């Protein structure tokens, strides 16, 4: 559009339309619901927060869980990342594969499965050790969240450790640092900003976690579950709004910290020369300690899936272990919800990826009024707990002028805009790698901006688009927190019914449905890998 | 050769199926400046890193001071490396970077300070000590990296293309400084580069590598004037190759014939074995450097031996010299004429003389 390229009218027009649509959508579907949540409670409601002992207790619980689960997840994530990138521990590849599984699974699944495995009637606790353990409460939640979220930390820190120039460690080794000294003086200090970044990212997810606490935290309320109780039990929307604001504030603060503070303190070095890296032999005690930790945690991850599968095939969990297929037959009565889940998530995943790519393209390539706004608002959903966005939508779009109560549209829209940030960041990343000199070269050779867009930029952005599509689809089909406030019998999706089945004690049915959900999301993943191969970088955090 | 300080014997190293080093042997004299020279992928960096102890070699042995160090960890070899990208620790100040190795050794602090003072005076980086690596320039980073290695008082200093990230001017000045420092400290230095002029300018000894093998080891002059093969000849400097056969010989000269022309080659620099090889080879390659030929005035009489005719095809004017491409001897000959002046020859027919004493033969 600038310097030297031929302007074509159709391109200019579509650009203006695109900018308008993006800006308007972000205003209506991201900003407006946020503002509405803040406006809904009366001033008095806010003042009452401090006096409300239960709110304060809940806030405290949430913060405690955030500290506990974030620490343990980050610690385990680092152990995994270090083992995978820096050691010759056997089974590294398998550990990596296993630890990535939870990323593609519904968030409540870990808690659900652990109730079956380690709860009062747990297959392992009661069945094998004959112990009656009460897993409900903060301990169970801690365990579930640790297993659910350490993969996030792992993924971030794997990237960080990989991008630390091996030359630095070689230099340290050459100058006399070995074993733990090398780790203490070089490797860890260099990874520290990455560790902080990973911890903050995990903290946001732990705070926002709704699926695990709703299932396993029992009488230990956290902000997300308490907000749900306010509405479910007392129809107290103002109370729910206030709780979700209490949830938003720390997570938004962490989000800002993560983005603007840690982002700048990275030691990641990019050098031209890629040296062949030989992994140094790890000393035996260290090696087997790491192996032990990784094996134990991997086993805990695998147990999640084992529990679900067994749960889906036995007659009565805890008292009747005979095999049955009846739960899968009963699922057919739920086919409506399954079809809804599939169609909503497909539409939402595709639209979300498309929206994110267009926004990323405009922001990184064009100068326009409100460009900064688009950039910020497209990333913002990453900081919004699903609960918060859900409440925002239920306040904003269930009454005139826009009454979408009980409609498919409200679910799909919430899924779209909750997911734009991952796709947007992938898109920005991809476009940053495409040097503007491609454009200059093309326009220098006489291509119009429309042709440049069509023939150079679209092909280059195809791969990130597909990964954004797949990731958004999986996130949409497995989400519970966003849709829980928007669901009615007319638009309920699978995750919503699974939650209800678990709370009503129908474990077999819930497990069978969760298995189906897992099959769908792993198939989506498999298909993406099959068709796009290595081009698709999923969950690059 | 003096006492071999570093001895490399039949060293091989594979990456997957790629042979990075193929039975390499090399002896490096105490206190010498030895350069490993070759194009990228020739194995020079692999050899350096094997000496440093970053790679486990597959076969052969590496000795320092007659001690086999194949399985000695990097830091116990006392062979300290300066990395191409300097590898300064970004989370430490310059002072912390430089003293890192000594601190790891748990040397007393006053001793460290003493060594630091001594080291930084060589390199003129005293005012940088409290800065972070990201806050100093490329040339300064270079000096700091060197200081970090020198403060260890290494037995062997390893330099991995340390000048390649600097701009041309800085490169030339640091090149001279580095060589002076090395001579002052008499520290055995192994230097890796792909830049032949750097190798010629700095080294006591050059080892030219190609495809994981050593092509030739020798002093800069030997490498330049007596390349062992075509690869070395063409990699080091600009060169003309003239193919032909030796057709006669006397005490003074070998007579070579190429496409009807007879070229004299000074025979006194070859030993008997070499002479016999050339005389018996069906084909030999004459190696002529562009500056070993001279344009001669066609009208003036004088020594007419080894004078040939050619025609200027094109030229480049470089100020102190002019480089001609001449159609002569059945091919294109590159010839450098120095101090060409404003009105020198630019076109047409010329006569030029090949100096018989400065050419070299390679048997094919």
Residue-wise pLDDT tens digits, B67-87: 999 988 888 888 999 988 888
pLDDT band at A269 (very low <50, low <70, confident <90, very high): very low
Residue A381 is predicted with a pLDDT of: 92
Q: What is the DSSP annotation of A215-252?
A: HH-TT---HHHHHHHHHHHH--HHHHHHHHHHHHHHHH
ipTM: 0.74
Domain with CATH 2.40.50.140 in chain B: 238-363
Residue ranges of alpha helices (H) inside B84-167 are 94-104, 109-123, 138-150
The DSSP 8-state label assigned to residue A276 in this structure reads P
Domain identity same for A480 and A423: yes
Give residues with Cβ within 8 angstroms of A18, minimum separation 6: A358, A362
Chain A residue with minimum CA distance to B165: A272
Residue A64 is predicted with a pLDDT of: 94
Q: Does some domain include residue A456?
A: no
Q: What is the CA radius of gyration of chain B?
A: 25
**A475-498 pLDDT per residue, tens:** 999 999 999 989 988 888 999 999
Domain identity same for A113 and A235: yes
Fold category of B238-363 in CATH: OB fold (Dihydrolipoamide Acetyltransferase, E2P) (2.40.50)
Residue A273 is predicted with a pLDDT of: 40
d(CA A427, CA A164): 24
Residue A7 is predicted with a pLDDT of: 55
Cα dihedral B287, B289, B292, B295, rounded to 10, equals: 110
On the question of pLDDT at A161 being above 90, the answer is no
On the question of pLDDT at A537 being above 70, the answer is no
Residue ranges of alpha helices (H) inside A109-266 are 109-118, 138-163, 166-174, 179-182, 188-208, 211-216, 223-234, 237-256
Give residues with Cβ within 8 angstroms of A251, minimum separation 6: A203, A204, A207, A208, A383, A384, A385
Cβ of B83 within 8 Å of Cβ of A170? The answer is: yes
The number of C-beta contacts closer than 8 angstroms across A and B is 78
Give the mean model confidence (pLDDT) for residues A402-418.
90
**% pLDDT > 90, chain B:** 53
Full domain range(s) for residue A505? 22-39+325-434+461-541
Beta bridge partners of B296: B351
Q: 3-class DSSP state for residue B70?
A: coil
Residue A439 is predicted with a pLDDT of: 66
Residue A20 is predicted with a pLDDT of: 93
Q: Is A287 on the interface with B (CB under 8 A)?
A: no
Residue of A177, A178, A269 lying closest to B90 (CB–CB):
A269
Residue B1 is predicted with a pLDDT of: 47
d(CA A414, CA A390): 7
Query: Among A324, A359, A392, where does a domain finish?
Result: A324
Residue A270 is predicted with a pLDDT of: 42
Domain identity same for A398 and A518: yes
- Judged by average pLDDT, the poorest of A304-308, B195-199, B297-301 is B297-301
d(CA A288, CA A282): 9
Domain identity same for A344 and A211: no
Q: Is B90 on the interface with A (CB under 8 A)?
A: yes
Cβ of B85 within 8 Å of Cβ of A165? The answer is: yes
Cβ of A174 within 8 Å of Cβ of B74? The answer is: yes
Residue A74 sits in a domain whose CATH number is 1.10.3720.10
Q: Is B75 on the interface with A (CB under 8 A)?
A: yes
Q: Does some domain include residue A453?
A: no
Q: Does some domain include residue A342?
A: yes
pLDDT band at B300 (very low <50, low <70, confident <90, very high): low
- Tell me if A298 sits within 8 A of A489, measured CB to CB: no
Which residue shows structure tokens 């503002």? A35
Give residues with Cβ within 8 angstroms of A413, minimum separation 6: A29, A393, A397, A404
Q: Does some domain include residue A317?
A: yes
Cβ of A174 within 8 Å of Cβ of B105? The answer is: no
d(CA A366, CA A358): 11
CATH number of B4-234: 3.40.50.300
Domain with CATH 3.40.50.300 in chain B: 4-234
A32-39 contacts: CB < 8 A, separation 24 or more?
Answer: A32/A396, A33/A389, A33/A392, A33/A393, A33/A395, A33/A396, A33/A397, A34/A384, A34/A388, A34/A392, A36/A392, A36/A395, A36/A396, A37/A241, A37/A244, A37/A245, A37/A248, A37/A388, A37/A391, A37/A392, A37/A395, A38/A241, A38/A245
Task: Choose the mutation target among A88, A160, A163, A171 for the interface with B, i.e. most B CBs under 10 Å.
Answer: A171
Cβ of B73 within 8 Å of Cβ of A178? The answer is: yes
Q: How many domains does chain A have?
A: 2
- Tell me if A389 sits within 8 A of A482, measured CB to CB: yes
Cβ of A181 within 8 Å of Cβ of B101? The answer is: no
Cβ of B49 within 8 Å of Cβ of A173? The answer is: no
Domain identity same for A412 and A489: yes
| Chain mean pLDDT for chain A | 85
Domain identity same for A216 and A365: no
Contacts of B79 in chain A (CB under 8 A): 174
Chain B residue with minimum CA distance to A180: B104
Query: Two tokens at B274?
Result: 């070499």
Query: Two tokens at B266?
Result: 């000074």
Which has the closest alpha carbon to A77: A161, A133, A17, A14? A161
Residue B236 to chain A, least CA–CA distance (Å): 23
SS3 content of chain B, % helix, strand, coil (to 5): 30, 35, 35
Measure CA A75 to chain center.
19
**A68-108 pLDDT per residue, tens:** 999 999 999 999 999 998 888 999 889 999 998 888 888 88
């Amino acid at each position: 559009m600038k310097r030297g390229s031929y302007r074509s009218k159709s391109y200019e027009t579509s650009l203006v339309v695109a900018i308008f649509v993006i800006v308007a959508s972000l205003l209506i579907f991201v900003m407006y619901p946020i503002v509405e949540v803040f406006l809904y409670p009366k001033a008095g409601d806010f003042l009452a927060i401090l006096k409300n002992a239960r709110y304060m207790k809940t806030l405290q619980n949430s913060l405690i869980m955030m500290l506990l689960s974030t620490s343990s997840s980050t610690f385990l994530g680092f152990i995994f990342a270090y083992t995978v990138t820096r050691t010759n521990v056997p089974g590294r590849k398998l550990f990596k594969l296993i630890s990535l599984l939870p990323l593609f699974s519904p968030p409540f699944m870990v808690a659900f499965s652990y109730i079956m495995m380690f709860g009062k009637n747990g297959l392992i606790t009661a069945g094998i050790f004959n112990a009656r353990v009460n897993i409900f409460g903060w301990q169970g939640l801690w365990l579930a969240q640790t297993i659910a979220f350490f993969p996030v930390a792992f993924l971030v820190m794997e990237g960080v450790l990989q991008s630390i120039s091996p030359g630095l460690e070689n230099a340290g080794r050459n100058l006399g640092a070995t074993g733990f000294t090398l780790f203490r003086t070089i490797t860890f200090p260099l990874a520290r900003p990455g560790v902080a970044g990973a911890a903050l990212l995990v903290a946001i997810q732990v705070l926002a976690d709704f699926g695990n606490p709703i299932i396993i935290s029992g009488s230990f309320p956290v902000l997300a579950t308490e907000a749900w109780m306010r509405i479910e039990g007392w129809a107290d929307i103002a109370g729910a709004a206030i709780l979700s604001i209490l949830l938003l504030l720390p997570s938004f603060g962490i989000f800002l910290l993560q983005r603007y503070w840690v982002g700048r303190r990275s030691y990641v070095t990019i050098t031209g020369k890629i040296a062949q890296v030989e992994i140094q032999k790890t000393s035996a005690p260290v090696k087997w300690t790491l192996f032990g930790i990784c094996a134990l945690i991997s086993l805990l991850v695998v147990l999640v899936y084992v529990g679900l599968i067994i749960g889906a095939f036995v007659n009565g969990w805890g008292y009747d272990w005979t095999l049955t297929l009846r739960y899968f037959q009963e699922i057919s009565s739920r086919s409506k919800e399954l079809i809804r889940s599939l169609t909503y998530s497909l539409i939402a995943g595709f639209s979300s990826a498309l929206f994110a790519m267009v926004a990323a393209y405009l922001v990184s390539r064009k100068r326009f009024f409100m460009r900064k706004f688009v950039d910020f608002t497209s990333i913002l959903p990453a900081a919004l707990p699903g609960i918060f966005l859900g409440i925002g939508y239920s306040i904003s779009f269930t009454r005139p002028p826009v009454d979408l109560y009980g409609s498919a549209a409200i679910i799909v829209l919430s899924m779209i805009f909750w997911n734009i940030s991952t796709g947007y960041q992938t898109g920005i990343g991809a476009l940053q790698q495409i040097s503007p000199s491609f454009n200059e070269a093309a326009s220098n050779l006489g291509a119009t901006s429309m042709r440049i867009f069509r023939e150079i930029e679209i092909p280059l952005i195809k791969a990130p688009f597909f990964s954004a599509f797949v990731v958004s689809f999986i996130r949409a089909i497995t989400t519970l927190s966003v849709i829980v406030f928007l669901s009615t019998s007319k638009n309920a999706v699978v995750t919503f019914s699974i939650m209800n089945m678990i709370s009503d004690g129908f474990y077999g049915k819930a497990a069978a449905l969760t298995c189906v959900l897992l099959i769908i999301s792993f198939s989506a993943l498999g298909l993406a890998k099959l068709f796009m191969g290595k081009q698709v970088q999923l969950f690059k955090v | 050769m003096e006492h071999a300080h570093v001895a490399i014997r039949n060293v091989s190293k594979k990456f997957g199926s790629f042979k990075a080093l193929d039975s390499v042997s090399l002896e490096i004299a105490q206190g010498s400046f030895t350069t490993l020279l070759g194009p990228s992928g020739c194995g020079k960096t692999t050899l350096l890193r094997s000496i440093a102890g970053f790679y486990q070699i597959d076969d052969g042995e590496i000795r320092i001071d007659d001690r086999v160090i194949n399985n000695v960890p990097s830091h116990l070899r006392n062979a300290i490396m300066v990395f191409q990208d300097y590898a300064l620790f970004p989370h430490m100040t310059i002072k912390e970077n430089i003293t890192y190795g000594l601190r790891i050794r748990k040397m007393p602090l006053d001793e460290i300070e003493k060594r630091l003072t001594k080291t930084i005076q060589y390199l003129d980086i005293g005012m940088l000590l409290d800065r972070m690596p990201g806050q100093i320039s490329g040339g300064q980073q270079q000096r700091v990296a060197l200081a970090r290695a020198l403060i260890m008082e290494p037995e062997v200093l390893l330099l991995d293309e340390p000048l390649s990230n600097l701009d041309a001017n800085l490169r030339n000045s640091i090149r001279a400084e580095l060589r002076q420092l090395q001579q002052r400290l008499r520290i055995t230095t192994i230097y890796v580069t792909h830049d032949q002029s750097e190798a010629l300018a700095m080294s006591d000894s050059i080892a030219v590598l190609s495809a994981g093998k050593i092509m030739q080891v020798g002093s800069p002059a030997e490498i330049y004037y007596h390349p062992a093969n075509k690869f070395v000849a063409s990699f080091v400097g600009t060169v003309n190759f003239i193919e032909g056969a030796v057709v006669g010989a006397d005490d003074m000269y070998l007579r070579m014939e190429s496409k009807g022309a007879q070229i004299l080659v000074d025979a006194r620099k070859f030993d008997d074995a070499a002479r016999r090889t050339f005389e018996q080879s069906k084909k030999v390659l004459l190696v002529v450097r562009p500056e070993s030929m001279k344009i001669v005035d066609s009208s003036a009489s004088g020594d007419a031996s080894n004078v040939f005719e050619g025609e200027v095809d094109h030229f480049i004017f470089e100020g102190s010299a002019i480089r001609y491409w001449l159609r002569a001897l059945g091919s294109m000959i590159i010839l450098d004429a120095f101090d060409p002046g404003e009105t020198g020859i630019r076109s047409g027919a010329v006569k030029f003389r090949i100096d018989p004493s400065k050419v070299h033969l390679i048997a094919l």
